[in-house]
Structure 1
Amino acid sequence: MYIEQIKKFKPELFLYFIVPFCFLALMAWNYVASMDMDTNEVIHQSISMLGVNGTFLIMVGPLAIGLFIVLIWTKFIQRIPITALTTSRPKIDWKRVFLSFFLWGTITATMIYISYLTTPENFIWNLKLDKFLIFLIIAIIFIPMQTSFEEYLFRAHMMQGIGLATNSRLIPLLVTSFLFGIMHAANPEVDKVGWVIMIYYIGTGLFLGIITLMDEGLELALGFHAANNLISALLVTADWTAFQTHSIFKDVSEPSAGFEIFTPIFIVFPILFFIFSKIYGWKNWQAKLFGKLTN
């Protein structure tokens, strides 16, 4: 089992809380610092000095480095193999990663295309091929590292540590989902749309945590998260988002708490639960999500 398997390595529980504490403290400091400034204005100032790609690298670069910190900490400090951090299977199932990536990438691209067809006045053509190609290379390298860091920190390192400490599945699921959402509190989207967007962030964290527990591994969450950020960053940007990129389109509409927030959480994600459960034969939902750990 995904959490229980760690017991055989006889882990020191306090080692599970050092990296998350440092990261969350840094996020809290960033949020407090951002309260006295216009985050979106800071991003625009950075773009004027460093360019879009330079600003993007500054934002995702530290998170990409964070991936190596989590992996090195796990392997060399905790003495736990990366495979055990990732999955309960004998080896990482890359087919699961790519299936999840292409499934959610296709859905994301389709939803953006439908939005463009139904409200073309909300989009302008933003493609500058030379800049886009450079960004494409940067995005393909750094976005999967950024999203993998968040998955390995929240759905792997923290979920396993909290699970072992509480002998519970539900507690780490709820705690990591909440913290994953709160991590985005300093994003300019929060100022623009309002705190209702936390429904999307926390709901997405809950979705990723559920598929991790049900599938007994991180692979599906890794693929989903990478597709979510990468495809969105390549296809559409806006002047009020955290990631402002050399994308194909720019969304010039005024953001609102509606379709973009509630459709994924209450319609699309339940459909994905059904698809994944049929593909991988998920059973015993109650035990896997609400049960105690087995010995």
Structure 2
Amino acid sequence: MYIEQGYKGDLGLWKYLIIPGCFIGLMVVNYIAILFSPVSVEDSMAQMINALGSNIVLILVLAPLAVGLFVVLGWTKLVHSQTITSLTTSRKKIDWKRVFFAFAIWGLATIVLTFVGIYLSPEDYVFNFKLVPFLSLAVIGIVLIPLQTSFEEYLFRGHMMQGLGIATKNRWVPLIVTSVLFGLMHLGNPEVEKLGYGIMIYYIGTGFFLGIITLMDEGLELALGFHAANNLIGALLLTADWTAFQTNSLYRDISNPVLGWDVLVPVFIIFPILLIIFSKKYGWTDWKQKLVGKVLSKEEFLIEEITQNG
């Protein structure tokens, strides 16, 4: 009953509209600016990196989103009068073992997939390791990237999913809406400019995967761990001149970017395998109800809470 945890706060439709509305509005303005800019996103990023250095640019990219996390959490606490625990999970306390398990399994998968790609096409990569810049990147990444990814999870899979679920009284609307919006948020990324809109299959597919594991596991923990591993391990291992995170990573991709199997494989093969692993480990059942079923009314939820707690 993750969505129903929103009943533990002080409800009000306007309270669920302001932060998502402001964030989506900023994304729309940013995308329109990119469309009409005479300078490509890739060239703009290159100019900034040449002037400031990749680590400073990374901080500038991550810092506003890291601050956004505290805005969402503060709004939840002060305006919704809801606990951070109930925004995070339906369990009595946040299960950090779930966070670290998801981080470990996807971090390991990312490492394996990256090195398989390097082994199969060594001509497409150059070893980019420089100790001091890499250590600086590691510190920046370890501090800021989990804050950035947690902001996106708490906004989309937390704040918006609970709000939409309570408003529509079902689970499929918040799953679809938050997943699609999560994908569309990446429209301004240089990868979209370089590879075309087909890359949105990956972004929206990832949004659905994160939404599914949140609803099935009745909490954000797995999504928080997965998303942090995806961005942090990726930033440390591999970079390219046309990616959103251009870092002092171990390797640099120098190939001519094309939209290929690497977009489809995670969404249609790897993510389903992860769903099976998570479902077996955590005993997920009743998929239909949890993904597309109805959301309890406040009265039904309170009765259910009393029944479960004896």
TM-score normalized with structure 1 length: 0.99
- Of 63, 86, 89, which aligns to 2:88? 86
- Of 142, 146, 151, which aligns to 2:144? 142
SS at match of 2:210: helix
AA matched with 1:250 = R
Q: Distance in 2 between the 1:82 and 1:8 partners?
A: 11
Which residue number corresponds to residue 262 of structure 2? Answer: 260
**2:236 equivalent to 1:216:** no
Q: Distance in 1 between the 2:169 and 2:10 partners?
A: 15
CA contact (8 A) 2:10 2:80 kept: no
Unpaired runs of at least 5, structure 1: none
Which residue number corresponds to residue 115 of structure 1? Answer: 117
SS at match of 1:43: helix
SS at match of 2:188: coil
TM-score normalized with structure 2 length: 0.94
CA displacement, residues 216-274 of structure 1 (integer Å, 9 cap, x when unaligned)? 00000000000000000000000010110000000011122212200000000000000
Q: Distance in 2 between the 1:285 and 1:100 partners?
A: 20
SS at match of 1:250: strand
Which residue number corresponds to residue 274 of structure 1? Answer: 276
Q: Distance in 2 between the 1:7 and 1:151 partners?
A: 19
AA matched with 2:50 = S
Superposed, 1:52-201 pairs within 5 Å as: 52-201=54-203
Which residue number corresponds to residue 7 of structure 1? Answer: 7
Unpaired runs of at least 5, structure 2: 301-310
Q: Distance in 1 between the 2:138 and 2:95 partners?
A: 26
Q: Distance in 2 between the 1:174 and 1:46 partners?
A: 36
Give 1:7 shift.
Answer: 1.6
CA contact (8 A) 2:72 2:154 kept: yes
Cα distance change, pair 8–78 in 1 and its aligned pair in 2 (3 A): closer
AA matched with 2:293 = G
Give 1:214 shift.
Answer: 0.1
Q: Distance in 2 between the 1:259 and 1:111 partners?
A: 13
Give 1:149 shift.
Answer: 0.3
Q: Distance in 1 between the 2:66 and 2:5 partners?
A: 27
CA displacement, residues 48-79 of structure 1 (integer Å, 9 cap, x when unaligned)? 11100011111111000000000000001110
RMSD value, Cα: 0.7
SS at match of 1:124: strand
CA contact (8 A) 2:100 2:225 kept: yes
Identity of aligned residues (%): 57
Give 1:10 shift.
Answer: 4.2
CA displacement, residues 193-236 of structure 1 (integer Å, 9 cap, x when unaligned)? 10000000000000000000000000000000000000000000
CA displacement, residues 90-137 of structure 1 (integer Å, 9 cap, x when unaligned)? 000000000000000000100001001111001001111111001110
AA matched with 1:78 = H
Give 1:13 shift.
Answer: 2.3
Cα distance change, pair 39–269 in 1 and its aligned pair in 2 (3 A): same
Give every structure 1 segment of 4 or more consecutive aligned residues whose post-TM-superposition deviation is greater than 6 Å.
none
